Amino acid sequence: MLRDAALIAGKDLRVELRSQVTTQQVAPFAVLVLILFGVALDPDRGILARASSGLFWVAVLFCALLAIQRAFTIESADGGRDALRLSGLDPAGIFLGKAAAIALQLAALEVVLAVGVVIMYGAEVTGAPLLIATCVAATAGLAAAGTLYGVLAAGLRVRETLLPILLLPVLAPVLIGATKSFEAALGGVASDGWPWCGLLVAFALTYLAVGTLAFGTLMEEPS
């Protein structure tokens, strides 16, 4: 299963590396979102610095939607979905592989966004370990839930519009937990953030388990 996961993750990341969609389109979009927040919320009144954790995670959610759509669009071309089904790879492995590829891309985007938040919004990092732990846990949760709901919407005519409405309400706990945890890590008291980090870990583990179990059935869906 893990070998299959590594294969799929390697394949997805190679596709991204060669097509450069993440680096040339999604990452600039992430920065653009930060600039737009800056324009929308008056930069002089200190709102940006206070709201930087929340804005950071909202930007991550938007980017995650793009990354998830992208992960399943590459399968829909040239009958990739059928090929995956015929490949004999363990469905659980495919799920974990796709989730891992999405997670790695999101992690890279989060680094870009974090630098952006620190430079443009003047956020101050006071708890680096908490910051990193939050990113890891939240990204795992986003990728796991995103892959599960992504395959649900994949192949449908209305997938671009359906995925956000299915996925974003489900991700509300991640947004809450990650924002609270970040608030503690950016100028707050770090010990306040760890319980929220625990919530993120629990969310990620739950969705990894559900996805591993349910992905086989969903892969068999006619699209």
Partner 1 sequence: MTAPHAVGSGPSGSTSSGATRVLGGLSLAGLALLLGYALVWSPADRTQRDSVRLMYVHVPSAIVAFAACALTTVAAAMWLRRRTEGWWVLGGASAEVGLVFTALTLVTGSIWGRPTWGTYWDWDPRITSTSLLFVMLVGYLALRRIDNEAGDAAQRGTRGAIVGLLLFPNVVVVHYSVDWWRSLHQTATITRLDPTIEGTMLFTLMLGIVVFGLIFAWLLVHRFRVGWLEERVEHAGLDDALRARRAEAGVVAGLGGGTA
What is the binding site for partner 1 (CB under 8 A)?
148-149, 152-153, 156, 158, 162, 165-166, 168-170, 172-173, 176-177, 180, 199, 203, 206, 210, 214, 217-218, 221-222
DSSP string, 149-200: HHHHHTT-TTHHHHHHHHHHHHTHHHHHHHHHHHHHHTTS-HHHHHHHHHHH
CB atoms within 10 A of CB 165: 9
Nearer to partner 1, 56 or 149 (CB): 149
Q: Exposed/middle/buried for 41, CB within 10 Å: 0-12, 13-18, 19+?
A: middle
User: How far apart are CB 119 and partner 1 at their closest, in Å?
Assistant: 28
Q: In whole angstroms, how close is the CB of 178 to partner 1 at the nearest point?
A: 11
Q: Would you say how long the chain is, in residues?
A: 223
Instruction: Write down the least CB distance from residue 108 to partner 1, Å.
Output: 27
Query: CB of 13: closest distance to partner 1 in angstroms?
Result: 27
CB of 57 to partner 1, least distance (A): 13
Considering the complex, state which of residue 24 and residue 223 has its C-beta at the smaller distance from partner 1.
223
Exposure string of 113-129, with b = 16+ CB inside 10 Å and e = fewer, is: bbebbeebbebeeebee
* CB nearer partner 1, residue 37 or residue 215: 215
Shortest approach of partner 1 to residue 173 CB, angstroms? 4
| Contact between 41 and 47 (Cβ < 8 Å) | yes
Q: Pick the closer one to partner 1 by CB: 108 or 192.
A: 192
Q: Of 43 and 155, which has the nearer Cβ to partner 1?
A: 155
Based on CB atoms, which residue is closest to partner 1, 27 or 148?
148
